[in-house]
Chain A
Amino acid sequence: MPASFPQYVTEAITGPLPDPPGVKLAKEGLKAKHPVVFVPGIVTGGLELWEGHQCAEGLFRKRLWGGTFGEIYKRPLCWAEHMSLDNETGLDPPGIRIRPVSGLVAADYFAPGYFVWAVLIANLARIGYEEKNMYMAAYDWRISFQNTEVRDQTLSTIKSNIELMVATSGGKKVVVIPHSMGVLYFLHFMKWVEAPAPMGGGGGSDWCAEHIKAVMNIGGPFLGVPKSVAGLLSAEARDIAVARGMAPGFLDMDVFGLQTLQHVMRMTRTWDSTMSMIPKGGDTIWGGLDWSPEEGYECSPKKPKNNNSEAGGQNGFGNLGNATQVHYGIMISFGKGVAELHSSKLERVDFRGAMKGNHLANTTCHDVWNEYHDMGVEGVKAVADFKVYTAGSVLDLLHFVAPKMMKRGGAHFSYGIADDLDDEKYEHYKYWSNPLETKLPNAPDMEILSMYGVGIPTERAYVYEFSPTPECFTPFRIDTSAEAGYEGTCLKGGVFSVDGDETVPTLSAGFMSAKGWRGKTRFNPSGIRTYIREYNHAPPANLLEGRGTQSGAHVDIMGNFALIEDILRVAAGATGQDLGGDRVYSDIFKWSERINLKL
């Protein structure tokens, strides 16, 4: 709701507004009970300057990220330089210190008028929350999770604050609400806090059981997002980079001039955290060349989804005769036709051994460095000749095109599935943020809720092409001309889309709660209860509603009244069962069924 309209005007147009959930529930008698911890996601948290180069004069403790972004327009190159991290270490470059804003202001509004947590905070305040029992666990979302502890001691700070809030609220456990990448960050935290001291927080094996009542994951990319692959590969994913995906409209092309993509890419490639969202679980989860769990998904939203996919489910995976079947398992394909071919007909040339070197003569774009220049023509060609990549081989692709970045990231993140969770190597922190390579803590009273929006087409796979002018552009680009000729319009502008919240596919957000952790599994040895709460997307009914009170989109869902009500009830003491257990609109259970994973 634009604040400029007085309430009586809007009520005259739309009829009386529904009470915000906070007011409604306060009338029902709900009171603040459990302290609440927010964990913001990537991009939405503010970053401010503590030390900078000459060109950043006068920006001390001003926001470089978040807020008005005025500085991008004034001094774009200086801005990009400061936002980048060191390419070798993934930490601060010399002479530059950018730190997360702390406190609730860190992520209540991303930009003026663009709320992230503000609506939720306001509603929590209605039932009696205030600064002392609400805590925003702001962290530097650019660096890898373990590095936030190494550099800023952020994990220790979160631990200490949770302990403090539990102590000052009379022993009430906290309700944690992570959003987006914050979900993975908190997963990492839960392992860290119980791990012994040098690498972990030394909280002991029942820390989570003693301090956490529930983890309410909002739009959690547990198994990664395909968007991040496109973001890393070519700094584009319909909208530029992962960064832009979460904050549409703020990073405009013209700011950096013609070389936007390269600048953004060079910047985002120094951010280790983007690698935490590369699809995990490989072909087992995301599908191989010939099948995918979402097979049979009907993209046209007009038709009732259930009929068709029901049939697909009965036929199993082998339903290849159907022309509308989309091979979601092929995450990247070169050329539109390739994506639809049967795997046996593909001719692929292995790129892994291909020659690198044979440098492109880059005289025209000298100041924009990126690793593609090290790859040479041969390498680029080899990549394209391989034709198709699944979630598993996409990792090899990334290793090939961005070796430095992946080497750095490989030390902090892992994307596989554990065979034996008791293996000692899984005590290393790089596995902690991958739900398929860690056990949940031993906390049988804890609850895990996966809350996410559904009903919005979400990027799932891409059709790529060679970029026409390889000197000045990244050599690959999404083939925006690739359109599906037939009715099922899953392919649009070179992107195959599937059900989700616009950023995270349903599969990634829901699988762990639907199957991976449901009941007592090897990933969830203590049998923590899990619930799925889906929120079907309904676009705002009119302009006055702003970003909608029933939205299911990745960030806008934070203003969804149903979601807020769920959170308020849990914070006031309800359990997942009291909320009504699972609430599912998508086919998540069917899709999870198809995934063949040892539990």
Chain B
Amino acid sequence: MASILRFRKLCILVPVKCSPVSYESHDAPEAEKKEDSPISAVEQVSEKPQVKKNKRQPKQWRCIDKCCWIIGYICTTWWLILFSFNCLTANLPGLKVPEPPGARLRREGLTALHPVVLVPGIVTGGLELWEGKPCSEGLFRKRLWGGNFAEIFKRPLCLLEHLSLDNETGLDPPGIRVRAVAGLVAADYFAPGYFVWANLIENLAKIGYEGKNMYMAAYDWRLSFQNTEIRDQTLSILKSQIELMYLTNGRKKVVVVPHSMGVIYFLHFLKWVEAPPPMGGGGGPDWCNKHVKAIMNIGPAFLGVPKAVGSLLSAESKDVAFLRAMAPGLFSSKTLGLQTLEHAMRVGRTWDSVISLLPKGGETIWGNLDWSPEEGHVCDSLKKRQLQASASDDKGNNSDSRRAFHVKELTKYGRIVSFGKNASELPSSQFSPLVFKVVSGSSTNSASVSCGKVWTEYNEMSHDSIRRVAENKAYTAETVMDLLRLVAPKLMQRAEAQFSHGIAEDLDDPKYNHYKYWSNPLETKLPNAPDMEIYCLYGAGLPTERSYVYKLTPSDRCKSIPFQIDGSADGSNSCLKGGVYFGDGDESVPVISGGFMCAKGWRGRTRFNPSGIATYIREYHHKAPTSLLEGRGLESGSHVAIMGNVAFIEDVLRVAAGASGAGLGGDKVYSDIMRMSERIDIRL
């Protein structure tokens, strides 16, 4: 405000100062007036030109006068705009920015009680350079990722080289050390003005939180989870910080708030911390019960996201690549020349963590060729209401609603990837049985001489095998893994040592002690912590990518990615747009992935949740911001902007101040998650 005031003063002064220059010589009465109040000086400004035109010869209209007048006008307008802006926001009720929830809850008497741990997700955490190649001179301890991304525009190739990991080990390439930024600054803002955690932090501070009872568990989100411990000891640090905060805050258990991929990272941590030392943290079997009060998962990608498939297969989802979804406008094609996608893909494929986001649970969860749990989801929000009503009527009569073919254009979400729009709609009986054979060895190496700089693994695949991939027409969550193994063998080989995507038959099998299962909720048991609470907090009501229609790329030497999303495929029912089938979700994570574990997988005492940890679903229905002043919205449900959602912040604050899930009001559900989960047939 102070700067505005000063600027305002300056603006008023400028016309006054200018005026003597312009008309002192010929217009004495005018000159006297200039001693009037500043406001009248401003008025004079508007009268002036006419006076001039009448009295003056054009030749006397000198350059310096023009300059003065122009400056005067600009300043006056600027000042007026600012003035009205200030008046409007202060006076018009509609434009008034409402009180932040933190301030309101404080007046209710809430104060900081439980320490809070924030676990950022993929992409949103900052990365900084500790050691680099000569081309990165002068960037020591500067952010390569996050911040203003100025360097990406200046030296894109250098930066991408530094952000890549080693293709064999998934760790640092030789001579390069890029590390996660530590502290709250790691992910409070992703880019200037683009908040991630900042809103939540500010509101927590309003009820008394500060550095000593709030901790950002920043980690290098490019690595596989276990590797963050091996390289950086991140898990050990997190354990030690939680223990420290527990002790220094009067033995109050922590409330953990993970977001997006951070959710499965923390799941991994929960298993790691109780596992015995060589592989785990050796915290003993009651560590979680002793130290963790609640886990408030935001936009949890428990069962993966279909988007990850799109980004691995062709480095594009609806918006190019997973990365770009989170940082709009970043990977514009101009920066990297024509081969944006190839570059993004090459870098993205060295990141093991992306694999953790592939859909888990296979056909049981995500549906098969004919069936999917979301069946009957209506994308048009208007139609939805009517249909929902009738559907619920139907259900009363028809116990086996899954088989009900009464809705003709049921979207076959189960086919996560299909080649051609037809293939996505055909009944499965018309498919030839899966003849999926791995034929990658016979690489004829399609002479990528002209664009040799950009290497992707597609160059090693023969045309033949590419064609055969497309012939298979449709892939479900299970077969899509085979597809990925074919097109990205190295990545999958590396990553499958770190992550697993199945469903456990017998959770007591000793093989499940291996860390690669720890981040898959369907292959681990929750810790024995009956006092803990697990929340699934996510947005709903936004179209979210669920499955894709692909086509072969018209052969082009330099476009070395042979598949791309068929942007021309639009459906009669509005679920299919630009080659993508949309379901309900928060724009990145479908509700099934965000909510299933809380709605069914862990609800009550199941084999995944042997100690009966209480689970709650809190959905936040998306509402677009009503005015410009709201920024990214106070009621947004989208994946990242939900962190500014007032209702969401209030829930977190209440739990941090000691409330329990029941105290919040239990489940709050807008979507069909309960019904969808019902349809999923999984042994509990």
List residues of chain A with CB under 8 Å of any chain B CB. Answer: 3, 50-51, 57-58, 60-61, 74-75, 97, 99-100, 102-105, 108, 121-122, 125-126, 130-132, 152-154, 156-157, 160-161, 163-164, 167-168
Contacts and interface: CB of A to CB of B under 8 A. Distances in A.
B183 A105 contact: yes
Interface stretch (B235-243, B385-393, B549-557): B235-243
Nearest to A169: B233
B211 A100 contact: yes
Given A121-B141, A152-B211, 12 more contacts: A50-B205, A50-B210, A61-B184, A61-B201, A102-B184, A102-B211, A125-B130, A125-B131, A132-B237, A160-B244, A163-B240, A168-B237
Contacts of A160: 240-241, 243-244
A105 B185 contact: yes
B436 interface: no
A94 to B, nearest CB: 13
Contacts of B211: 50, 99-100, 102, 152
Given A50-B205, A160-B243, A153 B233 contact: no
Nearest to B130: A130
B654 interface: no
Which of B184, B243, B244: most chain A CB closer than 10 A?
Answer: B244
B247 interface: yes
B202 to A, nearest CB: 6
For the complex of A and B, the 4 pairs showing the least CB-CB separation, nearest first, are A153-B248, A168-B233, A103-B183, A160-B244
B196 to A, nearest CB: 14
Given A102-B211, A103-B183, A157-B244, A164 B140 contact: no
11 contacts: A50-B210, A57-B1, A60-B202, A97-B210, A102-B183, A102-B184, A105-B185, A126-B131, A130-B130, A130-B177, A132-B179
Contacts of A102: 183-184, 211
A68 B210 CA distance: 23
A193 to B, nearest CB: 14
Nearest to A97: B210
Contacts of B407: none
Which of B1, B130, B140, B177: most chain A CB closer than 10 A?
Answer: B130
B205 to A, nearest CB: 5
B168 interface: no
Interface string B129-141: 0110000001011
Nearest to B249: A153
B232 interface: yes
Contact of B212 (A3, A74, A157): A157
A160 B184 CA distance: 19
A152 B240 CA distance: 17
A168 B240 CA distance: 11
A418 to B, nearest CB: 31
B182 interface: yes
B185 A164 contact: no
Which of A122, A154, A168: most chain B CB closer than 10 A?
Answer: A168
B449 interface: no
A50 B203 CA distance: 11
A164 B243 CA distance: 11
A61 B199 CA distance: 12
A115 B3 CA distance: 28
B2 interface: yes
A152 B212 contact: yes
A157 B138 CA distance: 32
B135 to A, nearest CB: 15
Contacts of A97: 210
Contacts of B206: 51
A473 B185 CA distance: 43
Contacts of A75: 2
A74 B179 contact: no
Contact of A99 (B177, B185, B210): B210
Contacts of B3: 74
Which of B184, B202, B211, B247: most chain A CB closer than 10 A?
Answer: B211
A58 B202 CA distance: 11
A374 B590 CA distance: 70
Contacts of B183: 102-103, 105
A448 to B, nearest CB: 27
Nearest to A3: B138
Interface in B161-188: 177, 179-180, 182-185, 188
Given A60-B205, A153-B212, A164 B236 contact: yes
Which of B138, B183, B188: most chain A CB closer than 10 A?
Answer: B183
A102 B248 CA distance: 17
